């Protein structure tokens, strides 16, 4: 049985994305918005899905998400609660009594997190007490605002210190170029330091790519973050498909991410997804029938990525794909062979494509007109540095002029000057340089592959032979 996973939603973005994530999981597991089964369980027929990793179930067969919601102002949390009446555990919801928000300041969010840290950790401890085989956390947040970045950063530090042996993944949303938050480069750099130092895997999204995708995915020409959040939730649900509909491989967070993270420093991952059918989004455009061959190759098209990639010579380190639908083994093998010819892998990396064939939920409406295969790709590539370099460039531009620093001067991390900025900028630069170094043939020569340097549980069953067998 897969271990339990606690989802922590921080700030407006984190709770809005979380709302769509739980909506998707409810649809896939036949759970109503109040936690009741949409179809009564048959005691003579065991369920084919595993709800335990993400849901608690009481004696009356009512489901409650293993989720914690935190925000400094109430609107996003209230929206979630209104959409799911009595679904979430009220003890796991925290909204600042002042309801004033963080004013888009990392410093204010961080200080709020520091002041309430014991309360948050107590909430987490109680949620862990309701597990039997606790596996780890997934944090949903934005890196550019105040609460998701600042309070989220404090939580990353606190969780990694208190639960160092539990897996900590983040779903981190980067801002668009048109963001109106003038201090977003400061917030992003400060948050990236914590992602680099305290998370085991960070799945990166950026609003530029997400907003561009919405114009192709949805019928409505006037798209918004309601639509982009559905794209993120589709990726999240597909990443966890093999945990919730388990088979003999990829049935835990460590077993999935250990295929993608060769060294602890290289843990920033890019997601791709296609097609976004009615299984995952509401109001999407119609798609023609497709095959696993079509989908696997399309996943490597830049237009299907959920993060902007501005690199002509992308170097792949590791790749993991999940296919859901009617999949023919021959199509998968043919697509793997074709992709291996097209993709440029690092010299030290095998050219394996780790492919998991997931299961479509029996609770979703049957496909009648067309038969679809949907695919998710997670990749670890050198192209992620284009996003990080752009962030560094914007940071350097305003920091060199001392612009907008007054916003941070009262923060506890800045009482002795601006060293936190320069140190965080250095950490991000080190990440960029590490990814550049990983393109070289001798990258792993000095890496000692001991247990403490590996991600996840190495006893997990993996595609260790690199033979591309599903």
In the chain, % of residues over pLDDT 70: 94
Give dist(CA 191, CA 179) in Å, integer.
17
pLDDT at 240 over 90: yes
Give residue 466's pLDDT.
Answer: 38
Give residue 79's pLDDT.
Answer: 97
Give residue 447's pLDDT.
Answer: 63
8 A C-beta contact, residue 167 and residue 160:
no
In the structure, what pLDDT confidence band is assigned to residue 451 with cuts at 50, 70 and 90? very low
Give, in order, the Cα–Cα distances in Å from 430 to each of 190, 261, 462: 14, 17, 30
Give residue 323's pLDDT.
Answer: 97
Give dist(CA 460, CA 101) in Å, integer.
42
Give dist(CA 252, CA 136) in Å, integer.
10
Give residue 319's pLDDT.
Answer: 97
pLDDT at 143 over 60: yes
Interior angle at CA 210, CA 235 and CA 268, nearest 5: 60
Task: Report the pLDDT averaged over residues 203-232.
Answer: 93
Domain ranges of the chain: 4-265
Give residue 60's pLDDT.
Answer: 83
Task: Report the pLDDT averaged over residues 212-230.
Answer: 92
Give residue 1's pLDDT.
Answer: 64
In the structure, what pLDDT confidence band is assigned to residue 460 with cuts at 50, 70 and 90? very low
pLDDT at 349 over 70: yes
Residue 296: Cβ within 10 Å count: 25
Q: Is beta strand 67-71 parallel, antiparallel or unpaired with respect to 93-95?
A: parallel
- According to DSSP, residue 91 is labeled G
Return the CATH class of domain 4-265: alpha beta
* Whether residue 275 has a cis bond before it, omega within 30° of 0: yes
Lowest average pLDDT, out of 8-22, 194-208, 257-271, 452-466, goes to 452-466
In the structure, what pLDDT confidence band is assigned to residue 467 with cuts at 50, 70 and 90? very low
C-alpha dihedral (427, 430, 431, 434), degrees to nearest 10: -160
Beta strands in 72-166 (DSSP E): 93-95, 134-142
Nearest to 94 by CA among 122, 112, 72: 72
**pLDDT 10s digits, 11-64:** 999 999 999 999 999 999 999 999 999 887 777 888 889 999 999 998 788 999
Task: Report the pLDDT averaged over residues 53-76.
Answer: 94
pLDDT at 309 over 90: no
Give residue 306's pLDDT.
Answer: 97
Lowest average pLDDT, out of 153-162, 323-332, 344-353, goes to 344-353
Give dist(CA 256, CA 20) in Å, integer.
22
Average pLDDT of the chain, as a whole number? 91
Residue 228: Cβ within 10 Å count: 27
Lowest average pLDDT, out of 20-29, 85-94, 358-367, goes to 358-367
Encoded tokens for 372: 């679809």
CB hemisphere CA count around 441 (13 angstroms)? 0
CB hemisphere CA count around 387 (13 angstroms)? 26
Residues contacting 130, CB < 8 A, separation 6+: 56, 66
Task: Report the pLDDT averaged over residues 132-157.
Answer: 97
pLDDT at 450 over 70: no
Q: Could you give the angle at which helices 207-217 and 225-239 cross, rounded to 10 degrees?
A: 100
Task: Report the pLDDT averaged over residues 424-450.
Answer: 87
8 A C-beta contact, residue 140 and residue 21:
yes
8 A C-beta contact, residue 283 and residue 225:
no
Task: Report the pLDDT averaged over residues 374-380.
Answer: 97
In the structure, what pLDDT confidence band is assigned to residue 459 with cuts at 50, 70 and 90? very low
Q: What are phi and psi of 202, to 5 degrees?
A: -125, 115
pLDDT at 106 over 60: yes
- The maximal CA–CA distance of the chain, rounded, in angstroms, is 70
Give residue 221's pLDDT.
Answer: 86
6 φ/ψ sector (left φ>0, alpha ψ -120 to 50, else beta): beta
Element (H, E) at 111: helix 106-115
3-state secondary structure of 76: helix
Give dist(CA 455, CA 272) in Å, integer.
22
8 A C-beta contact, residue 169 and residue 234:
no
3-state secondary structure of 120: helix
**pLDDT 10s digits, 51-61:** 999 999 987 88
In the structure, what pLDDT confidence band is assigned to residue 155 with cuts at 50, 70 and 90? very high
Give residue 311's pLDDT.
Answer: 65
8 A C-beta contact, residue 14 and residue 236:
no
Give residue 470's pLDDT.
Answer: 44
Task: Report the pLDDT averaged over residues 363-387.
Answer: 90
pLDDT at 2 over 50: yes
3-state secondary structure of 331: helix
3-state secondary structure of 322: strand
In the structure, what pLDDT confidence band is assigned to residue 453 with cuts at 50, 70 and 90? low
Encoded tokens for 331: 């199509």
8 A C-beta contact, residue 187 and residue 196:
no
pLDDT at 409 over 50: yes
Task: Report the pLDDT averaged over residues 308-327.
Answer: 90
Encoded tokens for 190: 């400060």
The residue behind tokens 């709770």 is 15
Three-class DSSP labels, 152-216 = HHHHHHHHHHHCCCCEEEEEEEECCCCCCCCCHHHHHHHHHHHHHHHCCEEEEEEHHHHHHHHHH
In the structure, what pLDDT confidence band is assigned to residue 4 with cuts at 50, 70 and 90? very high
């Amino acid at each position: 049985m897969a271990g339990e996973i606690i989802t922590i939603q921080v700030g407006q973005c984190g709770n809005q994305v979380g709302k769509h994530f739980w909506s998707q999981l409810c649809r896939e597991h036949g759970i109503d918005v109040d936690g009741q089964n949409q179809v009564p369980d048959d005691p003579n027929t065991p369920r084919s899905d595993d709800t335990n990793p993400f849901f608690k179930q009481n004696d009356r067969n009512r489901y409650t998400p293993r989720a914690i919601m935190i925000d400094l102002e109430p609107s996003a949390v209230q929206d979630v609660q209104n959409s799911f009446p009595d679904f979430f555990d009220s003890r796991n919801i925290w909204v600042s009594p002042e309801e004033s928000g963080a004013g888009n300041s990392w410093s204010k969010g961080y200080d709020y997190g520091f002041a309430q840290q014991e309360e948050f950790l107590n909430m987490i401890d109680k949620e862990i007490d309701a597990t039997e085989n606790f596996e780890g956390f997934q944090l949903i947040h934005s890196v550019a605002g105040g609460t998701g970045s600042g309070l989220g950063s404090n939580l990353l530090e606190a969780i990694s210190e208190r639960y160092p042996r539990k897996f900590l993944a983040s779903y981190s949303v980067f801002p668009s170029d048109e963001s109106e938050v003038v201090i977003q480069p400061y917030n992003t750099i400060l948050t990236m330091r914590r992602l680099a130092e305290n998370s085991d895997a960070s799945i990166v999204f950026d609003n530029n790519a997400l907003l561009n995708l919405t114009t192709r995915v949805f019928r409505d020409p006037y798209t918004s973050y309601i639509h982009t959040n559905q794209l993120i939730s589709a990726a999240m649900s597909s990443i966890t498909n093999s945990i919730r509909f388990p088979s003999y491989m990829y049935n835990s967070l460590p077993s999935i991410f250990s295929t993608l993270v060769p060294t602890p420093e290289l843990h920033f991952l890019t997601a791709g997804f296609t097609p976004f059918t009615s299984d995952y989004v509401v109001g999407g455009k119609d798609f023609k029938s497709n095959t696993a061959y079509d989908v696997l190759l399309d996943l490597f098209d830049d237009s299907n990525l959920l993060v902007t990639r501005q690199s002509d010579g992308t170097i792949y380190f590791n790749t993991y794909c999940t296919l859901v639908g009617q999949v023919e083994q021959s199509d998968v093998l043919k697509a793997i062979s074709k992709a291996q010819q097209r993709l440029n892998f690092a010299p030290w990396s095998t050219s394996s494509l780790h492919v998991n064939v997931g299961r479509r939920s029996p609770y979703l409406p049957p496909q009648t007109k067309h038969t679809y295969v949907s695919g998710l790709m997670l990749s670890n590539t050198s192209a992620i540095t284009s996003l990080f370099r752009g962030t560094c460039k914007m940071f350097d531009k305003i920091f060199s002029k001392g612009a907008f620093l007054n916003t941070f001067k009262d923060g506890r991390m800045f009482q002795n000057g601006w060293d936190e900025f320069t140190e965080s900028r250095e950490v991000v630069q080190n990440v960029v340089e590490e990814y550049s170094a990983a393109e070289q043939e001798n990258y792993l020569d000095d890496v000692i592959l001991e247990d403490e340097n590996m991600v996840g549980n190495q006893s997990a069953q993996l595609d260790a032979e690199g033979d591309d067998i599903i």
